[in-house]
A and B are shown apart, each in its own frame.
Chain A
Amino acid sequence: MRRVLSFTPVCLLVPLLVLLWASAARASGDCLICHSAMHGAVKDAKGETVQVHLDAEAFTKSVHGSLECTNCHMSFTSGPHKPPEGGTTPEVAALLPYTRLKAKVDPVALAACSQCHPGIYKEVRESIHGEGIFKKKQSDPPLCLDCHGNPHYIVAKTDPKSPVNFANVLETCGRCHNNEEVAKKYGMSGHVIEKYKESFHGKKYILGDKKVPICNTCHGAHMIMAVAAPGSPVMGQAKLATCGRCHKGATEKFVAAPVHKYIGKENPIPFYGEKLLILLVFGVFGFTVSHVILESWAEIRDNIFRKSGKGGPHD
């Protein structure tokens, strides 16, 4: 359904736009008059595709619904509009070289999150994800929108539609952590999500338990760290405290239990142990089933076809 339009057909709307534009002061409502009516996408000067449609209702219902468009869209690097007065703040401007890695269309708006959420932005910058973007200049690690979704429709995490809602976290983190390509590129285990789902926590999560820990329960969200990094909540003494939040009195021996570790040949006892047990299951299964089937056959034979007395040799 996505139509990529050139600027020309969009310009046909201009008479209408001008009419509406002139009638009011510059507030979100003004932008929305056109942008909620417009559909499709245009290409900007750099050739990036820009979606022009905005669902006004969903936007006003989102947690940012009361903001002005220009609170985030502080300047327009391209496009038909006149940029708002004031332009970008110095803090936002300083972030642009990094947000450009993530946001092709409006890096200013992505950097603008820091204006209202400075603490969280700082945490993210210091996290392993932030390190990738702000130190290594990688474009894969997530920034705000990769987890929180479309910036115009961000809802509270308690809303089931939020990508960071309890019900959706696994899928959201899994977009990278359950992606073999990404895992390989960054030397991560690509099995964590799948192994978590096989764990006791994961199984209960799938069945709808609301108290089990999910990714961010133990690893944190914005200030997420490499497992072995200093200050990591899942390493050393800190792990005792992290597990201990639910498992009172967690000990070293207790936290040694694998949460979502892949068990391979390097751990031969459980690896081959499981195979041996499957063999045992099938062995017993084979014996019992064959015994039952043969005995049923023998009973039918004795009682119906041989009908001499009650069947056994003891009669």
Chain B
Amino acid sequence: MIDSKEISVKGIKVEKTEVGEQAVPKEIERFNVIFRIQHVIMLVTFLLLAFTGWALKYPEIEPSKWWVRIWGGPETAGIIHRTAGLTMLADFVWHVIYLGYLFAKGMRIRAVTTIIPIPKDIADVIKNYMYFLGISKEKPRFGRFSYIHKFDYWAVFWGMGIIGISGFVLAFPVFSSQFFPKAALGWLWPMMMILHSDEALLAIVFILFWHFFNEHLKWGKFPMSWTWITGKVTADYMKHEHPLEYEKMFGKEGD
């Protein structure tokens, strides 16, 4: 019997898996406990940020006023928002450091398992649209991360860069102002406010449509994919959703 954890570790670390040599377990660990904790922190802080920040986007409408009262009034909501924001930033930093640690331990970038966008992803988008529209009968075959996952993942990086930095600046304006170049003062301040507000809206809309659909509403996933808690997917699921990764681990005939 092969411990599922070991396989997952091999899935990330080992450059060449013995194709077709391994017995296929029932479940495979997709995300280890550290990734799962990072995701839970991200999830909780994201919701808190969205909830406490939302009223500021459209303060003049009546629902915003009662909504912010639910969160303890504008002052308390502000404290929750800043605390959640800092926690999320810390979570993100932890994630990046952890990735660095994994690389140091020998994690390699390979086309089938990487989260980094590659040309194949663009081809997959086109293939998938063609499949949706019925033009093609063939679904694109994904590796460990499909372009859908990659989009979801890098959106967080984009969000952390844009919303995280502007949010930090807005939360600690006096401290942050010392890093502003003098020549940029005229536009940097208004830009920070615009960026934070517009990109936050983008993030919420994105999560609502992209992440919610893909992880909650997709056929067979409702009410949600439980991988975020268990970290595991079934071998069958993997075979269907991540055929290239499956083949890399167990070989084409693996069953």
Contact = CB atoms under 8 A, between A and B. Distances in A.
**A and B associate:** yes
A287 to B, nearest CB: 9
Interface residues of A, dominant DSSP? helix
A297 interface: yes
Contacts of A203: 56, 59
Contacts of B73: 207-209
Nearest to B211: A288
Nearest to A251: B177
Contacts of A288: 205-206, 209-210
B131 A298 contact: yes
Given A254-B173, A292-B210, A294-B129, A267 B190 contact: yes
Contact of A200 (B68, B170, B217): B170
Contact of B205 (A211, A261, A281): A281
A274 B194 contact: yes
B133 A294 contact: yes
Contact of A206 (B59, B128, B217): B59
B213 A313 contact: no
A209 to B, nearest CB: 4
A46 to B, nearest CB: 44
Interface stretch (A81-89, A136-144, A242-250): A242-250
Interface in B123-163: 128-129, 131-134, 137-139, 141
A51 to B, nearest CB: 35
A284 B206 contact: yes
Contacts of B60: 197, 206
B219 A254 contact: no
A270 B194 contact: yes
Interface residues on A, range: 35 or more
Interface stretch (B3-11, B20-28, B104-112, B179-187): B179-187
A130 to B, nearest CB: 33
Contacts of A258: 189-190
A10 interface: no
A295 B74 contact: no
B55 interface: yes
Interface residues on B, range: 35 or more
B189 A257 contact: yes
B41 interface: no
A292 B213 contact: yes
Given A298-B131, A311-B219, A253 B194 contact: no
B178 A315 contact: no
B36 interface: no
Nearest to A299: B219
Interface in B50-67: 55-56, 59-60, 64-65
Contacts of A285: 202, 205, 209
B193 interface: yes
Contact of B240 (A284, A299, A312): A312
Given A253-B182, A284-B206, A207 B65 contact: yes
Contacts of A277: 194-195, 198-199, 202
Contacts of A297: 132
B75 interface: yes
B243 interface: yes
B239 A314 contact: yes
Interface of A: 197, 199-200, 202-204, 206-209, 211, 247-251, 253-254, 256-258, 261, 263, 267-270, 273-274, 277-278, 280-281, 284-285, 288-289, 291-292, 294-299, 301-303, 310-315
28 contacts: A200-B56, A204-B78, A207-B56, A207-B59, A207-B74, A251-B178, A254-B174, A256-B177, A256-B186, A267-B190, A268-B187, A269-B187, A269-B191, A270-B187, A270-B194, A277-B194, A277-B198, A281-B205, A285-B205, A288-B206, A289-B209, A291-B128, A291-B210, A295-B213, A298-B131, A303-B219, A314-B139, A314-B239
Interface of B: 55-56, 59-60, 64-65, 68-69, 73-75, 78, 128-129, 131-134, 137-139, 141, 170, 173-174, 177-178, 180, 182, 185-187, 189-191, 193-195, 198-199, 201-202, 205-206, 209-210, 213, 217-219, 239-240, 243
